[in-house]
Structure 1
Amino acid sequence: MAKRKRKTLPKDFGQLLEQASLEELIAVFDQCELEATGGYSKSTALGFYNCPDELVRWLVEQGAGIDARDTYQRTALHHRSSSWKGGVDLLLDLGADIEAQDYQGDTPLHAAAKSHKVQALAALIRRGADIDARNRQGHGVLQIALATTSNADIEATAKIAQILLDAGVPADDAMLAEVQRIGREFEFHRAGFNPDYLEATDAGLACLYGLFGVTPVASRQLHDGKAAISVADGPWHNQHQQLWQLLVPSNGPAATVQGEVIRLSGRISREIHHNGAANWDADFKAMLTALVRHLGNAVPLPPGELAEAQALAAALCGGDDDVARTDRLSALAVQWVIANPQPLSLPLPAYRR
Protein backbone atom coordinates (compact mmCIF):
# COMPACT_ATOMS: atom_id res chain seq x y z
CA MET A 1 0.00 0.00 0.00
CA ALA A 2 1.44 3.33 -1.06
CA LYS A 3 2.35 5.71 1.73
CA ARG A 4 0.04 8.71 1.98
CA LYS A 5 1.70 11.95 0.99
CA ARG A 6 1.91 14.97 3.27
CA LYS A 7 -0.62 17.77 2.93
CA THR A 8 1.88 20.35 4.20
CA LEU A 9 5.12 21.54 2.66
CA PRO A 10 8.40 21.37 4.62
CA LYS A 11 8.78 24.25 7.07
CA ASP A 12 11.91 25.39 5.23
CA PHE A 13 10.29 25.21 1.78
CA GLY A 14 10.77 28.92 1.14
CA GLN A 15 14.49 28.52 1.83
CA LEU A 16 14.67 25.42 -0.36
CA LEU A 17 13.22 27.41 -3.25
CA GLU A 18 16.21 29.75 -2.99
CA GLN A 19 18.93 27.13 -2.52
CA ALA A 20 17.92 23.72 -3.87
CA SER A 21 18.27 22.42 -7.42
CA LEU A 22 15.23 21.72 -9.58
CA GLU A 23 15.72 17.98 -9.05
CA GLU A 24 15.80 18.45 -5.28
CA LEU A 25 12.67 20.57 -5.38
CA ILE A 26 10.83 18.01 -7.50
CA ALA A 27 11.87 15.35 -5.00
CA VAL A 28 9.96 17.22 -2.29
CA PHE A 29 6.77 16.10 -4.00
CA ASP A 30 7.71 12.46 -3.61
CA GLN A 31 6.67 13.05 0.00
CA CYS A 32 4.18 15.92 -0.40
CA GLU A 33 1.00 16.31 -2.41
CA LEU A 34 1.19 18.62 -5.42
CA GLU A 35 -1.13 21.01 -3.62
CA ALA A 36 0.45 20.70 -0.19
CA THR A 37 0.44 24.06 1.56
CA GLY A 38 2.89 26.07 3.61
CA GLY A 39 3.89 29.53 4.75
CA TYR A 40 1.88 31.99 6.83
CA SER A 41 -1.01 32.06 4.34
CA LYS A 42 -0.97 28.31 3.66
CA SER A 43 -0.46 28.65 -0.09
CA THR A 44 0.57 25.88 -2.44
CA ALA A 45 4.07 25.86 -3.89
CA LEU A 46 2.80 27.89 -6.85
CA GLY A 47 1.83 30.67 -4.45
CA PHE A 48 5.38 31.16 -3.16
CA TYR A 49 6.72 34.30 -4.81
CA ASN A 50 10.17 32.70 -5.27
CA CYS A 51 8.97 29.47 -6.86
CA PRO A 52 11.29 29.01 -9.90
CA ASP A 53 9.69 29.11 -13.33
CA GLU A 54 10.87 25.56 -14.08
CA LEU A 55 9.15 24.23 -10.97
CA VAL A 56 6.00 26.21 -11.78
CA ARG A 57 5.82 24.55 -15.19
CA TRP A 58 6.53 21.08 -13.76
CA LEU A 59 3.86 21.41 -11.06
CA VAL A 60 1.20 22.50 -13.56
CA GLU A 61 2.20 19.69 -15.94
CA GLN A 62 1.74 17.22 -13.07
CA GLY A 63 -1.74 18.54 -12.37
CA ALA A 64 -1.30 21.18 -9.66
CA GLY A 65 -4.16 23.67 -9.66
CA ILE A 66 -2.98 26.95 -11.15
CA ASP A 67 -5.73 28.81 -9.27
CA ALA A 68 -5.43 27.02 -5.91
CA ARG A 69 -6.39 29.35 -3.05
CA ASP A 70 -4.61 30.16 0.19
CA THR A 71 -6.19 31.09 3.53
CA TYR A 72 -7.09 34.53 2.15
CA GLN A 73 -8.50 33.08 -1.10
CA ARG A 74 -5.53 34.44 -3.02
CA THR A 75 -4.16 32.58 -6.02
CA ALA A 76 -0.60 32.30 -7.24
CA LEU A 77 -1.37 35.16 -9.64
CA HIS A 78 -2.36 37.38 -6.71
CA HIS A 79 0.95 36.61 -5.03
CA ARG A 80 3.05 37.16 -8.14
CA SER A 81 1.19 40.37 -8.99
CA SER A 82 2.18 41.84 -5.63
CA SER A 83 5.80 40.62 -5.75
CA TRP A 84 8.94 42.24 -7.10
CA LYS A 85 9.91 38.85 -8.56
CA GLY A 86 7.33 39.03 -11.34
CA GLY A 87 6.16 35.89 -13.12
CA VAL A 88 2.74 37.20 -14.14
CA ASP A 89 3.05 36.30 -17.82
CA LEU A 90 4.13 32.73 -17.09
CA LEU A 91 1.12 32.05 -14.87
CA LEU A 92 -1.24 33.56 -17.44
CA ASP A 93 0.36 31.45 -20.18
CA LEU A 94 -0.37 28.40 -18.01
CA GLY A 95 -4.04 29.33 -17.67
CA ALA A 96 -4.29 31.40 -14.48
CA ASP A 97 -7.59 33.24 -13.96
CA ILE A 98 -6.77 36.92 -14.50
CA GLU A 99 -9.97 37.99 -12.71
CA ALA A 100 -9.75 35.70 -9.66
CA GLN A 101 -10.97 37.42 -6.49
CA ASP A 102 -9.62 37.02 -2.96
CA TYR A 103 -11.63 37.29 0.26
CA GLN A 104 -11.81 41.09 -0.14
CA GLY A 105 -12.85 40.87 -3.75
CA ASP A 106 -9.43 42.04 -4.92
CA THR A 107 -8.31 40.83 -8.34
CA PRO A 108 -4.63 40.36 -9.24
CA LEU A 109 -4.79 43.86 -10.75
CA HIS A 110 -5.89 45.22 -7.36
CA ALA A 111 -3.01 43.30 -5.78
CA ALA A 112 -0.48 44.86 -8.16
CA ALA A 113 -1.91 48.35 -7.56
CA LYS A 114 -2.01 47.93 -3.77
CA SER A 115 1.62 46.74 -3.76
CA HIS A 116 2.66 49.41 -6.29
CA LYS A 117 4.21 46.89 -8.69
CA VAL A 118 4.31 48.79 -11.97
CA GLN A 119 5.56 45.99 -14.23
CA ALA A 120 3.03 43.47 -12.92
CA LEU A 121 0.19 45.96 -13.35
CA ALA A 122 1.27 46.80 -16.89
CA ALA A 123 1.53 43.11 -17.77
CA LEU A 124 -1.94 42.35 -16.42
CA ILE A 125 -3.48 45.21 -18.39
CA ARG A 126 -1.64 44.11 -21.51
CA ARG A 127 -3.09 40.63 -21.02
CA GLY A 128 -6.65 41.93 -20.72
CA ALA A 129 -7.30 42.49 -17.01
CA ASP A 130 -10.47 44.46 -16.25
CA ILE A 131 -9.29 47.97 -15.37
CA ASP A 132 -12.77 48.81 -14.05
CA ALA A 133 -12.90 45.94 -11.54
CA ARG A 134 -14.07 46.84 -8.04
CA ASN A 135 -13.59 44.89 -4.84
CA ARG A 136 -16.17 44.22 -2.14
CA GLN A 137 -15.60 47.68 -0.66
CA GLY A 138 -16.33 49.21 -4.04
CA HIS A 139 -12.74 50.33 -4.56
CA GLY A 140 -11.38 50.54 -8.07
CA VAL A 141 -7.79 49.77 -9.03
CA LEU A 142 -6.57 53.38 -9.29
CA GLN A 143 -8.36 54.39 -6.09
CA ILE A 144 -6.71 51.57 -4.15
CA ALA A 145 -3.28 52.43 -5.59
CA LEU A 146 -3.60 56.02 -4.40
CA ALA A 147 -5.17 55.19 -1.03
CA THR A 148 -2.32 52.82 -0.09
CA THR A 149 0.49 55.15 -1.19
CA SER A 150 3.10 56.11 1.38
CA ASN A 151 6.09 58.34 0.70
CA ALA A 152 8.24 55.46 -0.52
CA ASP A 153 5.59 54.52 -3.11
CA ILE A 154 5.11 57.91 -4.78
CA GLU A 155 7.37 57.29 -7.78
CA ALA A 156 5.70 53.95 -8.56
CA THR A 157 2.20 55.30 -7.96
CA ALA A 158 2.76 58.08 -10.48
CA LYS A 159 3.65 55.47 -13.12
CA ILE A 160 0.64 53.35 -12.18
CA ALA A 161 -1.68 56.36 -12.36
CA GLN A 162 -0.33 57.28 -15.79
CA ILE A 163 -0.90 53.73 -17.07
CA LEU A 164 -4.44 53.48 -15.72
CA LEU A 165 -5.52 56.95 -16.83
CA ASP A 166 -4.10 56.28 -20.30
CA ALA A 167 -6.06 53.01 -20.33
CA GLY A 168 -9.28 54.91 -19.74
CA VAL A 169 -9.86 54.84 -15.98
CA PRO A 170 -11.63 58.12 -15.08
CA ALA A 171 -10.39 60.34 -12.26
CA ASP A 172 -12.83 61.35 -9.53
CA ASP A 173 -12.94 63.64 -6.50
CA ALA A 174 -11.90 60.85 -4.12
CA MET A 175 -8.72 60.35 -6.14
CA LEU A 176 -7.95 64.07 -6.08
CA ALA A 177 -8.35 64.01 -2.30
CA GLU A 178 -5.89 61.11 -2.07
CA VAL A 179 -3.32 63.00 -4.16
CA GLN A 180 -3.68 65.94 -1.79
CA ARG A 181 -3.17 63.59 1.17
CA ILE A 182 -0.07 62.11 -0.46
CA GLY A 183 1.33 65.60 -0.95
CA ARG A 184 0.60 66.68 2.64
CA GLU A 185 2.21 63.59 4.12
CA PHE A 186 5.28 63.92 1.94
CA GLU A 187 5.78 67.59 2.75
CA PHE A 188 5.44 66.86 6.46
CA HIS A 189 8.23 64.25 6.24
CA ARG A 190 10.33 65.89 3.51
CA ALA A 191 13.10 67.04 5.89
CA GLY A 192 13.71 63.47 7.05
CA PHE A 193 13.25 61.77 3.66
CA ASN A 194 16.12 59.73 2.21
CA PRO A 195 18.01 62.19 -0.04
CA ASP A 196 18.99 59.36 -2.41
CA TYR A 197 15.35 59.06 -3.48
CA LEU A 198 14.27 62.68 -3.14
CA GLU A 199 14.65 63.74 -6.79
CA ALA A 200 12.69 60.77 -8.16
CA THR A 201 10.02 61.14 -5.49
CA ASP A 202 9.65 64.86 -6.17
CA ALA A 203 9.25 64.09 -9.86
CA GLY A 204 6.63 61.45 -9.09
CA LEU A 205 4.71 63.85 -6.87
CA ALA A 206 4.80 66.55 -9.54
CA CYS A 207 3.50 63.98 -12.03
CA LEU A 208 0.58 63.10 -9.73
CA TYR A 209 -0.30 66.76 -9.28
CA GLY A 210 -0.30 67.22 -13.05
CA LEU A 211 -2.28 64.07 -13.85
CA PHE A 212 -5.07 64.97 -11.44
CA GLY A 213 -4.95 68.76 -11.75
CA VAL A 214 -4.17 69.20 -8.06
CA THR A 215 -2.51 72.36 -6.76
CA PRO A 216 0.86 71.35 -5.25
CA VAL A 217 0.92 71.26 -1.46
CA ALA A 218 3.01 74.10 -0.06
CA SER A 219 6.36 73.28 1.50
CA ARG A 220 6.22 72.95 5.25
CA GLN A 221 7.53 75.89 7.25
CA LEU A 222 9.19 74.56 10.39
CA HIS A 223 9.83 76.70 13.46
CA ASP A 224 13.43 77.92 13.68
CA GLY A 225 13.71 77.15 17.39
CA LYS A 226 14.27 80.83 18.23
CA ALA A 227 11.27 82.97 17.34
CA ALA A 228 8.27 83.32 19.63
CA ILE A 229 5.69 80.62 18.98
CA SER A 230 2.30 81.90 17.88
CA VAL A 231 -0.91 80.29 16.72
CA ALA A 232 -4.06 81.73 15.18
CA ASP A 233 -7.22 82.04 17.23
CA GLY A 234 -9.74 79.27 16.80
CA PRO A 235 -10.91 75.92 18.19
CA TRP A 236 -8.26 74.01 20.15
CA HIS A 237 -8.12 71.14 17.63
CA ASN A 238 -7.31 73.57 14.81
CA GLN A 239 -4.63 75.16 16.96
CA HIS A 240 -3.20 71.74 17.85
CA GLN A 241 -2.90 70.90 14.15
CA GLN A 242 -1.23 74.26 13.40
CA LEU A 243 1.28 73.70 16.20
CA TRP A 244 1.87 70.13 15.02
CA GLN A 245 2.79 71.38 11.56
CA LEU A 246 5.02 74.11 12.99
CA LEU A 247 6.82 72.30 15.81
CA VAL A 248 6.73 68.51 15.40
CA PRO A 249 9.51 66.82 13.35
CA SER A 250 8.88 63.98 10.91
CA ASN A 251 10.28 61.53 13.45
CA GLY A 252 11.79 61.56 16.92
CA PRO A 253 11.31 64.08 19.71
CA ALA A 254 10.78 67.79 19.07
CA ALA A 255 13.57 70.33 19.53
CA THR A 256 11.50 72.39 21.97
CA VAL A 257 9.39 71.54 25.00
CA GLN A 258 6.47 73.25 23.28
CA GLY A 259 6.80 70.96 20.27
CA GLU A 260 7.16 67.90 22.48
CA VAL A 261 4.01 68.74 24.44
CA ILE A 262 2.08 68.85 21.17
CA ARG A 263 3.79 65.70 19.87
CA LEU A 264 3.17 63.71 23.03
CA SER A 265 -0.50 64.64 23.29
CA GLY A 266 -0.98 63.79 19.61
CA ARG A 267 0.96 60.51 19.72
CA ILE A 268 -0.92 59.30 22.79
CA SER A 269 -4.28 60.14 21.22
CA ARG A 270 -3.43 58.48 17.91
CA GLU A 271 -2.09 55.33 19.55
CA ILE A 272 -5.27 54.86 21.56
CA HIS A 273 -7.87 55.87 18.98
CA HIS A 274 -6.27 54.90 15.66
CA ASN A 275 -4.18 51.91 16.68
CA GLY A 276 -6.32 50.44 19.44
CA ALA A 277 -3.40 50.86 21.89
CA ALA A 278 -1.73 47.88 20.19
CA ASN A 279 1.73 49.28 20.97
CA TRP A 280 0.88 50.64 24.41
CA ASP A 281 3.82 50.00 26.71
CA ALA A 282 6.07 51.52 29.37
CA ASP A 283 7.29 54.11 26.85
CA PHE A 284 3.79 55.50 26.35
CA LYS A 285 3.30 55.62 30.12
CA ALA A 286 6.59 57.54 30.40
CA MET A 287 5.34 59.91 27.70
CA LEU A 288 2.20 60.58 29.73
CA THR A 289 4.31 61.30 32.80
CA ALA A 290 6.59 63.64 30.85
CA LEU A 291 3.63 65.48 29.31
CA VAL A 292 2.09 66.26 32.68
CA ARG A 293 5.48 67.29 34.06
CA HIS A 294 5.97 69.75 31.19
CA LEU A 295 2.52 71.22 31.79
CA GLY A 296 3.60 72.06 35.33
CA ASN A 297 6.85 73.80 34.30
CA ALA A 298 7.74 77.32 33.08
CA VAL A 299 4.42 79.17 33.11
CA PRO A 300 2.40 76.23 34.43
CA LEU A 301 -1.25 75.51 33.91
CA PRO A 302 -3.46 76.99 36.63
CA PRO A 303 -3.63 74.66 39.68
CA GLY A 304 -7.09 73.33 38.89
CA GLU A 305 -6.24 72.51 35.28
CA LEU A 306 -2.87 71.01 36.22
CA ALA A 307 -4.67 68.72 38.69
CA GLU A 308 -7.09 67.86 35.89
CA ALA A 309 -4.17 66.96 33.59
CA GLN A 310 -2.72 64.70 36.29
CA ALA A 311 -6.07 62.96 36.73
CA LEU A 312 -6.44 62.52 32.98
CA ALA A 313 -2.96 60.97 32.73
CA ALA A 314 -3.77 58.57 35.57
CA ALA A 315 -6.98 57.51 33.81
CA LEU A 316 -5.15 57.00 30.51
CA CYS A 317 -2.31 54.97 32.00
CA GLY A 318 -3.81 51.70 30.80
CA GLY A 319 -4.24 52.87 27.22
CA ASP A 320 -8.04 53.10 27.41
CA ASP A 321 -10.15 56.14 26.58
CA ASP A 322 -13.52 57.28 25.31
CA VAL A 323 -11.96 60.16 23.31
CA ALA A 324 -12.93 62.84 25.80
CA ARG A 325 -9.83 62.38 27.97
CA THR A 326 -7.23 62.53 25.19
CA ASP A 327 -9.06 65.46 23.60
CA ARG A 328 -9.01 67.36 26.86
CA LEU A 329 -5.34 66.58 27.43
CA SER A 330 -4.52 67.85 23.93
CA ALA A 331 -6.52 71.03 24.59
CA LEU A 332 -4.55 71.60 27.81
CA ALA A 333 -1.31 71.08 25.87
CA VAL A 334 -2.34 73.84 23.44
CA GLN A 335 -3.24 76.09 26.36
CA TRP A 336 0.21 75.57 27.90
CA VAL A 337 2.03 76.33 24.63
CA ILE A 338 0.07 79.56 24.17
CA ALA A 339 1.07 80.58 27.71
CA ASN A 340 4.74 79.81 26.91
CA PRO A 341 5.56 81.41 23.54
CA GLN A 342 9.33 81.60 24.08
CA PRO A 343 10.99 78.36 22.90
CA LEU A 344 12.35 76.07 25.62
CA SER A 345 15.00 73.50 24.66
CA LEU A 346 13.89 69.93 25.31
CA PRO A 347 16.12 67.86 27.62
CA LEU A 348 16.94 64.30 26.49
CA PRO A 349 13.69 62.32 26.92
CA ALA A 350 13.49 59.17 29.04
CA TYR A 351 11.43 57.40 26.35
CA ARG A 352 12.28 56.28 22.82
CA ARG A 353 9.02 56.67 20.92
Structure 2
Amino acid sequence: MAENDVMSKEKAIHDGVSPIKIPDEEDEDLLFQKLWEYLVPSCGKAQTAQGEIIRIAGRVQHEFLNNGCINWDEDFHKMLDTFLKYLPLGNGFSEEDLKIAEVLVGLLKENGKKGFIDDKIIGVFCSCAMTWVKQNPEVIEPLKAEYVR
Protein backbone atom coordinates (compact mmCIF):
# COMPACT_ATOMS: atom_id res chain seq x y z
CA MET A 1 0.00 0.00 0.00
CA ALA A 2 1.38 3.40 -0.95
CA GLU A 3 1.99 6.02 1.70
CA ASN A 4 -0.74 8.24 0.21
CA ASP A 5 -3.25 5.40 0.64
CA VAL A 6 -2.38 5.18 4.33
CA MET A 7 -2.71 8.94 4.77
CA SER A 8 -6.11 9.03 3.08
CA LYS A 9 -7.46 6.36 5.45
CA GLU A 10 -6.51 8.27 8.61
CA LYS A 11 -9.53 9.49 10.52
CA ALA A 12 -10.42 13.16 10.37
CA ILE A 13 -9.78 14.97 13.64
CA HIS A 14 -11.23 18.42 14.27
CA ASP A 15 -8.65 21.22 14.30
CA GLY A 16 -10.29 23.09 17.18
CA VAL A 17 -11.12 26.23 15.17
CA SER A 18 -13.04 25.36 11.99
CA PRO A 19 -16.80 24.92 11.98
CA ILE A 20 -17.73 21.43 13.08
CA LYS A 21 -18.91 19.13 10.32
CA ILE A 22 -21.58 16.76 11.58
CA PRO A 23 -21.21 13.34 9.97
CA ASP A 24 -24.13 12.20 7.84
CA GLU A 25 -25.26 9.25 9.91
CA GLU A 26 -28.78 8.16 10.85
CA ASP A 27 -27.81 5.53 13.42
CA GLU A 28 -27.38 7.37 16.74
CA ASP A 29 -24.79 4.95 18.11
CA LEU A 30 -22.66 5.29 14.97
CA LEU A 31 -23.10 9.06 14.95
CA PHE A 32 -21.96 9.27 18.56
CA GLN A 33 -18.91 7.14 17.75
CA LYS A 34 -18.05 9.33 14.75
CA LEU A 35 -18.42 12.53 16.80
CA TRP A 36 -16.22 10.99 19.50
CA GLU A 37 -13.50 10.13 16.98
CA TYR A 38 -13.74 13.57 15.34
CA LEU A 39 -13.94 15.81 18.42
CA VAL A 40 -12.38 13.98 21.39
CA PRO A 41 -8.59 13.66 21.75
CA SER A 42 -7.02 10.32 22.60
CA CYS A 43 -6.19 11.67 26.06
CA GLY A 44 -7.10 14.74 28.05
CA LYS A 45 -9.93 17.18 27.65
CA ALA A 46 -11.28 18.37 24.30
CA GLN A 47 -10.25 21.69 22.81
CA THR A 48 -13.86 22.70 22.05
CA ALA A 49 -17.05 22.77 24.08
CA GLN A 50 -18.58 20.48 21.47
CA GLY A 51 -15.82 17.93 21.94
CA GLU A 52 -15.99 18.17 25.71
CA ILE A 53 -19.75 17.60 25.89
CA ILE A 54 -19.31 14.48 23.73
CA ARG A 55 -16.35 13.41 25.91
CA ILE A 56 -18.41 13.81 29.10
CA ALA A 57 -21.31 11.83 27.62
CA GLY A 58 -18.93 9.12 26.44
CA ARG A 59 -17.12 8.87 29.78
CA VAL A 60 -20.41 8.59 31.67
CA GLN A 61 -21.74 6.08 29.13
CA HIS A 62 -18.59 3.96 29.45
CA GLU A 63 -18.72 4.03 33.25
CA PHE A 64 -22.34 2.85 33.26
CA LEU A 65 -22.28 0.32 30.45
CA ASN A 66 -18.73 -1.03 30.64
CA ASN A 67 -17.72 -0.60 34.28
CA GLY A 68 -21.05 -1.01 36.05
CA CYS A 69 -20.42 2.29 37.92
CA ILE A 70 -17.61 0.69 39.94
CA ASN A 71 -15.54 3.90 39.61
CA TRP A 72 -18.46 6.28 40.19
CA ASP A 73 -17.31 9.21 42.31
CA GLU A 74 -17.63 12.95 42.83
CA ASP A 75 -15.70 13.61 39.61
CA PHE A 76 -18.55 12.12 37.59
CA HIS A 77 -20.97 14.43 39.44
CA LYS A 78 -18.79 17.39 38.48
CA MET A 79 -18.72 16.23 34.87
CA LEU A 80 -22.53 16.02 34.86
CA ASP A 81 -22.79 19.50 36.39
CA THR A 82 -20.50 20.84 33.66
CA PHE A 83 -22.59 19.03 31.02
CA LEU A 84 -25.60 21.06 32.18
CA LYS A 85 -23.58 24.29 31.97
CA TYR A 86 -22.88 23.65 28.27
CA LEU A 87 -26.51 23.19 27.24
CA PRO A 88 -27.59 26.88 27.40
CA LEU A 89 -24.47 28.08 25.52
CA GLY A 90 -24.52 29.09 21.85
CA ASN A 91 -27.72 27.91 20.20
CA GLY A 92 -28.68 26.42 23.52
CA PHE A 93 -31.53 24.28 24.70
CA SER A 94 -34.92 25.81 25.46
CA GLU A 95 -35.93 26.32 29.09
CA GLU A 96 -38.16 23.26 28.85
CA ASP A 97 -35.36 21.10 27.41
CA LEU A 98 -32.95 22.37 30.07
CA LYS A 99 -35.39 21.26 32.78
CA ILE A 100 -35.63 17.82 31.19
CA ALA A 101 -31.83 17.64 31.03
CA GLU A 102 -31.61 18.55 34.73
CA VAL A 103 -33.97 15.68 35.59
CA LEU A 104 -31.92 13.35 33.39
CA VAL A 105 -28.66 14.36 35.09
CA GLY A 106 -30.30 13.90 38.50
CA LEU A 107 -31.29 10.36 37.53
CA LEU A 108 -27.76 9.62 36.32
CA LYS A 109 -26.25 10.88 39.58
CA GLU A 110 -28.59 8.73 41.66
CA ASN A 111 -28.23 5.69 39.43
CA GLY A 112 -24.45 6.05 39.41
CA LYS A 113 -24.32 6.01 43.21
CA LYS A 114 -26.53 2.94 43.34
CA GLY A 115 -24.87 1.17 40.42
CA PHE A 116 -28.24 0.95 38.69
CA ILE A 117 -27.71 0.64 34.95
CA ASP A 118 -30.39 1.85 32.54
CA ASP A 119 -29.12 1.94 28.98
CA LYS A 120 -32.19 3.91 27.84
CA ILE A 121 -31.31 6.81 30.15
CA ILE A 122 -27.72 6.68 28.90
CA GLY A 123 -29.01 6.73 25.31
CA VAL A 124 -31.10 9.83 25.97
CA PHE A 125 -28.10 11.47 27.68
CA CYS A 126 -25.86 10.86 24.66
CA SER A 127 -28.65 12.11 22.37
CA CYS A 128 -28.75 15.37 24.35
CA ALA A 129 -25.02 15.83 23.78
CA MET A 130 -25.33 15.14 20.04
CA THR A 131 -28.33 17.46 19.70
CA TRP A 132 -26.41 20.30 21.32
CA VAL A 133 -23.40 19.72 19.04
CA LYS A 134 -25.67 19.69 15.96
CA GLN A 135 -27.19 23.01 17.09
CA ASN A 136 -23.72 24.52 17.50
CA PRO A 137 -21.47 23.93 14.49
CA GLU A 138 -19.42 27.06 15.25
CA VAL A 139 -16.66 26.34 17.76
CA ILE A 140 -17.35 27.33 21.37
CA GLU A 141 -14.52 27.50 23.88
CA PRO A 142 -14.71 24.79 26.54
CA LEU A 143 -15.57 25.76 30.10
CA LYS A 144 -13.01 25.46 32.87
CA ALA A 145 -13.17 21.89 34.05
CA GLU A 146 -13.75 21.27 37.75
CA TYR A 147 -13.06 17.56 37.29
CA VAL A 148 -9.94 15.49 36.70
CA ARG A 149 -11.33 12.63 34.59
> What TM-score comes out, normalization by structure 2 length?
0.86
2:62 matched to 1:266? no
Partner of 2:19: 228
Distance in 2 (CA, whole Å) between partners of 1:251 and 1:238 is: 21
Residues 284/340 of structure 1: CA separation in 2 closer, same or farther (3 Å cut): same
Of residues 51, 61, 74, the one that matches 1:282 is 74
**Equivalent residue number for residue 108 of structure 2:** 316
Instruction: Find the residue that maps to 1:317 and give its secondary structure.
Output: helix
Given the superposition, is the C-alpha separation of residues 293 and 224 from structure 1 closer, same or farther in structure 2, using an over 3 Å criterion?
Answer: same
1:257 to 12, 28, 49: 49
**Higher alpha-carbon deviation: 297-306 or 331-340:** 297-306
Distance in 1 between residues matched to 2:19 and 2:62, nearest whole Å: 28
Q: Spell out the pairing of 1:1-353 with structure 2 (5 A cutoff).
A: 218-231=9-22, 232-318=24-110, 319=112, 320-353=116-149
Task: Provide the aligned C-alpha RMSD in A.
Answer: 1.9
**Contact 2:68–2:117 (8 Å) recurs in 1:** no
> Identity, % of aligned pairs?
32
Offset at 1:263? 0.5
> Which residue is equivalent to 1:125?
none
Quick check: 1:237–1:331 contact (8 Å CA) kept in 2? no
User: CA separation in 1, counterparts of 2:34 and 2:96?
Assistant: 26
Deviation of the 1:265 alpha carbon = 0.4
In 2, Cα distance between the equivalents of 1:335 and 1:274? 24
Rounded Cα–Cα distance in structure 1 between residues aligned with 2:15 and 2:123: 28
Distance in 2 (alpha carbons) for counterparts of 1:345 and 1:303: 22
Following TM superposition, by how much is the alpha carbon of 1:257 offset from its aligned partner in structure 2, in angstroms? 0.3
Shift in Å, 1:216 = 6.8
**Contact 2:87–2:93 (CA under 8 A) maintained in structure 1:** yes
Considering only CA atoms, is the larger Rg found in Structure 1 or Structure 2?
Answer: 1
1:231-280 Cα offsets, whole Å, 9 max, x none, are 11413222211111110001111000000000100110110110011111
Identify the structure with bigger relative contact order (alpha carbons < 8 Å, sequence gap 6+).
Answer: 2
The question of whether the paired residues in 1 share the 8 Å contact of 2:16 and 2:48 is answered with: yes
C-alpha distance in 2 between matches for 1:330 and 1:304: 18
Letter of the 2:121 counterpart: R
Deviation per CA, 1:18-72, whole angstroms, max 9, x where unpaired? xxxxxxxxxxxxxxxxxxxxxxxxxxxxxxxxxxxxxxxxxxxxxxxxxxxxxxx
With normalisation by structure 1, the TM-score equals: 0.38
Q: CA offsets per residue over residues 126-176 of structure 1, 9 Å max, x none? A: xxxxxxxxxxxxxxxxxxxxxxxxxxxxxxxxxxxxxxxxxxxxxxxxxxx
- C-alpha distance in 1, partners of 2:37/2:63? 19
User: Structure 2, unaligned stretches of length 5 or more?
Assistant: none
Give 3-state SS (helix, strand or coil) of 1:349's partner: coil
> Counterpart in 2 of 1:194?
none
Distance in 2 between residues matched to 1:281 and 1:242, nearest whole Å:
28
Amino acid corresponding to residue 227 of structure 1 in structure 2: S
Amino acid at match of 1:250: S
What amino acid sits opposite 1:221 in the alignment?
A: A
Consecutive unaligned residues in structure 1, runs of 5 or more: 1-205, 207-214
